[in-house]
Amino acid sequence: MREKLRTRWEQSKWKARIDRLPRLWRLSRGKTLALNLLIIAVAGAWLWGLAGYPLPTAELEFRRLERQCLVPRSELVFAATAPERYEYVASPNDKTVTALDGTEISMNNWQFVGVTERLAVVAEVAQRGLGGYGTGLEHYVRDGTPLLLPLGGDQWSPLRGYWVTEEQKPGEVNYTYHGMTPLVLLDVPEEARRAEVSLELHTWEELLPYEAVCWDMGGGVWLVGAFREDEARPDRFAGGTYTLRLYDGAGALLLEREGAVPQPL
Amino acid sequence: MERDNSKQTGWLDTAVAGIRFGPDRKAVRAELQAHLEDKAADFRRIFPDIAPEEAEARAVEEMGDAVEIGKELARLHKPWLGYLWRASKWIAILSVVLLMAINILNNDHYQSAGYPLWGGFSEVRGRTEGEKIQLGGYTFQIVGAAYLDYVQDWRGIEDRVQVYIRVSTPRFWERINEGALRSALTMTGPEGWVWSMDSGKVQTIWEEGRNELICGLQRAEWGLFHDTYVAYGDLEWTEGEPVCLEFDFGKGSFTLTVDQLERVVME
């Protein structure tokens, strides 16, 4: 078959026309290779652009977002990038982080928190190709004292998170979904063993109280999940207030603070 | 005849055995075969009584040691270059076909991440070339400044200032983040007028059933290596008064000033 096709090509008019082309158009193998590589580079860059310039890892995407937002490169202290494992609950965009007590907490999109000497950077990066949206970054003043910040890259669109508890019963496993709005608590003293947070956030044009569950992520970083029994969700963080109490291992109060939810710079 | 042909064939096989890239091996073999045939023809011409088999055998002897020639040919013809050339040909063809297919199927050209690689929503008014400031690998420059002067009693539309800022970078895969630019930018004008581009103010044109931005930031035009944004401000401006754009990023702060605006009378 190949020989037949080859013979037909050798006898074809097209080959005769190509053979008559001026020598200028018939490049050496080296020049043809160079031209091919140039075409591949241009077409490859174009196709990469069509796909939205994806980068191979979540952290590279975060670092690019830092550069695009002209914030200094930060030290990464929190990252929710692991894929969600509860297939009946999760969407492909959900990412998971595990607390020191083993609880897996999930949120939409990759979430990052980084710190510099004077700034705290909170970013949300949508993973391209999965229909995700909502990439954004905000940065806040950091002074070394405990700092409660909303997760997600937009104060005006509170993020939604959840964790799942499993209950083993004979012959079955029951999963319970717990929804919450995640925040992150930075610069928590090492000796803190328990944190209590309560908030008042704008919901349906009112300021409503929220309880919170707190997970130690290690390294002075805690994840705070704000929730209400009626499953209401806040509209925004601007104008919200919080009360924070930190306790040591013996149950003694280390710190008590009230304040407004910080505004990004 | 068969024995001599096999001698020729054997010599050729040995000589090209070290050339691993198929097309090169084939081409070199054809050339060596042509040399052998020429030599045999020369012998038959010089010695007309010589048998054809003997002419071919002497031609093979004249060509030299096939093993030594084979080593030299193998040294000259590197296989990786041949494979690379062939692979590059097919990858280049595939890439071009894929691009053409995507552009034809999308029925649009230059589509990239939801918007074309270059385009524009509005024309830049009052073109100018202001000072360039570089920060974080981006170059900021005012490229247009205009004062839109609406006739006073005409539909009650507010006069406004438009300042066009171009943000360029050779890193086309990481253009400036629009949200970060909005948060960082504040316009200031005469008599203490200030507007942070983090928010917008619109005016409703009831007769036309649309809203028009009178304070805020919008993308105006873009190319592969730049984005041009227009900052609006509803301030009263008179000739000679400067309008400033103050940028405050995490990496640093700077101010761009424009003294001359083109007065555009809107009729």
For residue range A63-118, what is the model confidence (pLDDT) as tens digits? 999 999 999 999 999 999 888 776 665 577 888 999 999 999 999 889 999 999 99
Say what the pLDDT of residue B112 is. Answer: 45
- A42: distance to nearest CA of chain B, Å? 9
B136 interfaces chain A, CB cutoff of 8 Å: yes
Three-state secondary structure call for residue B46 = helix
How far apart (Å, rounded) are the C-alpha atoms in residues B50 and B54? Answer: 7
DSSP secondary structure letter of residue A91: -
Please give, rounded to a whole number of angstroms, the shortest distance from the CA of B172 to a CA of chain A: 9
* Mean pLDDT for all residues in chain A: 88
A220 with A190: CB under 8 angstroms? yes
pLDDT-derived band of residue A128, with 50, 70 and 90 as boundaries?
A: low
Taking contacts as CB-CB distances below 8 angstroms, the residues of chain B near A37 are 88
Residue A115: predicted pLDDT: 96
Residues A233, A238, A242, A248, CA torsion sign: positive
Q: Which residue of A has its CA nearest to B179?
A: A136
* The pLDDT of residue A23: 56
Count of CB pairs separated by less than 8 Å, A with B? 98
Hey, are the CB atoms on B251 and A49 less than 8 Å from each other?
A: no
Helix intervals (H) in chain A: 2-10, 13-20, 29-50, 58-68
Beta strands at B132-135 and B138-150: parallel, antiparallel or unpaired:
antiparallel
CA distance B91 to B131: 44
Longest dimension (CA), chain B: 115
**Stretch A55-68: mean pLDDT:** 93
Categorize the per-residue pLDDT at A133 as very low, low, confident or very high, splitting at 50, 70 and 90. Answer: low
Please name the residue that has the structure tokens 């950077």: A121
| Tokens of residue A69, six digits | 């937002």
Q: Would you give the end-to-end CA distance of chain B in angstroms? A: 99
Q: Does B51 touch chain A (CB under 8 A)?
A: no
Burial state string for A221-234 with b = 16 or more CB within 10 A and e = fewer than 16: bbbbbbbbeeeebb
pLDDT value of residue A32 = 87
CA distance A28 to B123: 47
Chain A positions in Cβ-Cβ contact with residue B249 (cut-off 8 Å): 69-71
Half-sphere exposure of B99 (CA within 13 A, CB side): 21
Nearest CA in chain A to B101: A47
pTM: 0.80
- CB–CB of A89/A177 below 8 Å? yes
Q: Quick check: B65 contacting A, CB < 8 Å?
A: no
Sorted by sequence, the CB contacts under 8 Å of residue B35 that are 6+ apart come out as B63
- Higher-confidence residue of A3 and A218: namely A218
The ipTM value here is 0.81
Structure confidence at residue B106 (pLDDT): 67
A29 chain-B contacts, CB cut-off 8 A: 81-82, 85
Indicate the pLDDT class of residue A26, thresholds 50, 70 and 90. Answer: low
Whether A71 and B249 lie within 8 Å, measured CB to CB: yes
What is the pLDDT, as a whole number, of residue A135?
81
Q: How far is CA B55 from CA A206, B13, B49, in A?
A: 107, 20, 10
Which of A41-50, A204-213, B104-113, B239-248 shows the lowest mean pLDDT across its residues? B104-113
Alpha-carbon distance B104 to nearest alpha carbon in chain A (angstroms): 14
Q: What is the token pair recorded at A98?
A: 């595990």
B99·A121 Cβ contact <8 A: no
Query: CA neighbours within 13 Å on the CB side: how many for B168?
Result: 13
Structure tokens at A205: 């044009």
Distance between CA A214 and CA A183 in Å, rounded? 9
Confidence of residue A60 (pLDDT cuts 50, 70, 90): very high
Q: Which residues of B touch A139 (CB under 8 A)?
A: 250
Cβ distance B179 to A51 less than 8 Å, yes or no, reads no
- Which one-letter amino acid corresponds to residue B240? G
CA distance B99 to B101: 5
* DSSP line for B93-104: HHHHHHHHHHHH
Query: Which pLDDT score, from 0 to 100, does residue A88 have?
Result: 60
What is the model's pLDDT at position A101?
92
Domains of chain B: 6-83 (no CATH), 118-266 (2.60.40)
List, in sequence order, every residue forming a beta bridge with A120; answer none if it has no partner.
Answer: A115, A140
Among residues A47, A225, A181, A60, the alpha carbon closest in space to that of A127 is found at A60
Phi/psi at B59 (5° precision):
-65, -40
Assigned token pair, B81: 């270059």
pLDDT per residue of chain B (267 residues) written in tens, 0 to 9: 445 567 888 899 999 998 888 888 888 999 999 998 899 899 889 988 888 888 888 888 888 898 999 999 888 888 888 888 889 989 999 998 988 888 777 655 554 445 567 788 888 888 888 889 999 999 999 999 999 888 765 667 778 899 999 999 999 999 999 999 999 999 999 889 999 998 888 888 777 788 888 899 999 999 889 999 999 998 888 888 899 999 999 999 999 999 888 888 877
B90 touching A, CB under 8 A?
Answer: no
Please name the residue of chain A whose CA is at the shortest distance from the CA of residue B116. Answer: A50
| β B262-266/B138-150 pair status | parallel
Check CB contact under 8 Å for B85 and A29. yes
Chain B residues touching residue A43 (CB < 8 angstroms): 92, 95-96, 98-99
Q: Which residues contact B88 (CB under 8 A, 6 or more apart)?
A: A33, A36, A37, A40
What pLDDT score was predicted for residue B79? Answer: 83
> Which residues does chain B have within 8 Å of residue A69's beta carbon, measured at their own beta carbons?
177, 179-180, 249-250
Which residues of A make CB contacts under 8 Å with B? 29, 32-33, 36-37, 39-40, 43-44, 46-53, 64-65, 67-72, 119, 121, 136-139, 153-154, 264-265
Burial category of B245 from C-beta neighbours within 10 Å (exposed 0-12, middle 13-18, buried 19 and up): buried
Rounded CA separation B19/A139 (Å): 62
| Per-residue burial over A90-107, b = 16 or more CB atoms within 10 Å of its CB, e = otherwise | beebbbbbebeeebebbb
With an 8 Å Cβ cutoff, is B137 touching chain A? yes
* Higher per-residue pLDDT: A250 or B1: A250
Q: Which of A236, A242, A98, A249 is nearest to A163 (CA)?
A: A98
